[in-house]
Structure 1
């Protein structure tokens, strides 16, 4: 598989056009020892993947010629991961893997039991860090769309979302097969301490469905991944058999 780079300019490119990969993406290409004549992939992040051939390389830019382009449509229904803030880098690891598994959008959630607290400038820095992690994961998995990372949300904000809320909780009475797959979904994953009783009540009042994935209690960084994987065949994203 050819290396993939994020290049927003690819969205309007035509076969034969020459484009420049610059900044951190050019640095990555240089580190990967890109050479003239090598074939790469570039993703615009908003629906286009282009096959390109390297024309020239220097330390600050990589010039490429467009050989082919393909435009993709957004998949429906869409799946958003509402990920509670977690200590260390667990949440960041989780959202990167969720991107590889097909999450269409990511919401950082300041849950009441989150050890990590994003306030003021820290919230802006945290969102930018998550966006960077998601972009890298989208390149790794050669996705035509880079998932949107929304600003930090409170429980009230999450309850106001238009998607069907699906709260993952080990004490839920229903399994993952209770999730409707004919509408946009928002999978809600709690922090290390779990979703509080007050938050569960708020979500229930907002029409949320509570489901569990099995007898095991999963980490905050893996629960969303398991749910995405379990739902993907029913959503038509993964082939059956």
Structure 2
């Protein structure tokens, strides 16, 4: 498979077959100096929002690569979308979850400041943390050769999360039909046996921190309309629970 590089969203909007696309900045530098691509080599370029162009390299500069577009494809947004609400965790475990979830196919990621989260984003750490997760998702999407890069939202508190669950739109408040699943090691229903509704637009998966979800948070989220589900008989780390659950959902949806 041809190597994948990314450009900013909107860059490929008016690019047609036969046109030239210039890779510059970090992507161009990587292609020219690290990957050492050569004229004639085939590359794929994505805008992170579903548009992908493929073509042969026509020129290589010091920090740039020019590609002549031979084909253009549009990957539609998946329905239902998969949203991961990942609790902040220490030791980089939350970042590990973001990376693996992106490779598995998550469509949106929401950082959650849970009651038992040891890691806290406050002040300048809020935007730095979100930007860090976005960068991890971007690189993981490239690794997985994904045409779409999952968005990373601003972090939410438990109160905000419960409000979004009650509103039925934890991924943006746009009125879409949403089902919210909260991972609970002792939940009555197994995720592998859960049947996704036919007309759902989004499936939101809520994963707690290293100390687990507090009982009052379970009650609050369940009261707002969330459903408790479990993966199996073992308790997984916060870094692996979300990706494992997403893999189950991809299978249940017939995508894997």
Partner of 1:175: 190
How far, CA to CA, are the matches of 1:69 and 1:108 in structure 2? Answer: 34
* Candidates 98, 109, 115, aligned match of 2:118: 115
Q: Is 1:196 equivalent to 2:198 in the alignment?
A: no
User: Secondary structure at 2:70's aligned position in 1?
Assistant: strand
Give the paired residue count. 238
Task: Please say if residues 195 and 252 of structure 2, whose CA atoms lie closer than 8 Å, have aligned partners that are also in contact.
Answer: no
Deviation at 1:179, TM superposition (A): 5.1
TM-score, structure 2 length as denominator?
0.89
Task: Please say if residues 11 and 47 of structure 1, whose CA atoms lie closer than 8 Å, have aligned partners that are also in contact.
Answer: no
Partner of 1:232: 250
Moved more, 193-202 or 11-20: 11-20
- The superposition leaves residues 201-239 of structure 1 with CA deviations (integer Å, 9 ceiling, x where unpaired) of 11011111001100110010110111111111221312x
How far, CA to CA, are the matches of 2:55 and 2:143 in structure 1? Answer: 17
User: Secondary structure at 1:81's aligned position in 2?
Assistant: strand
What pairs up with 1:1-241 in 2 under 5 angstroms?
A: 1-8=1-8, 9-29=11-31, 30-161=33-164, 162=169, 163-176=178-191, 177-178=193-194, 180-182=196-198, 183=200, 184-238=202-256
Change (3 A) 1:46 1:143: same
Indicate the RMSD between aligned Cα atoms, in angstroms. 1.3
How far, CA to CA, are the matches of 1:132 and 1:17 in structure 2? Answer: 29
User: Secondary structure at 1:66's aligned position in 2?
Assistant: strand
User: Secondary structure at 1:12's aligned position in 2?
Assistant: coil
How far, CA to CA, are the matches of 1:49 and 1:156 in structure 2? Answer: 39
User: Secondary structure at 2:251's aligned position in 1?
Assistant: coil
How far, CA to CA, are the matches of 2:214 and 2:142 in structure 1? Answer: 35
Deviation at 1:90, TM superposition (A): 1.4
TM-score, structure 1 length as denominator?
0.95
Note the residue ranges of structure 2 that are not aligned, 5 or more in a row: 170-177
Deviation at 1:110, TM superposition (A): 0.6
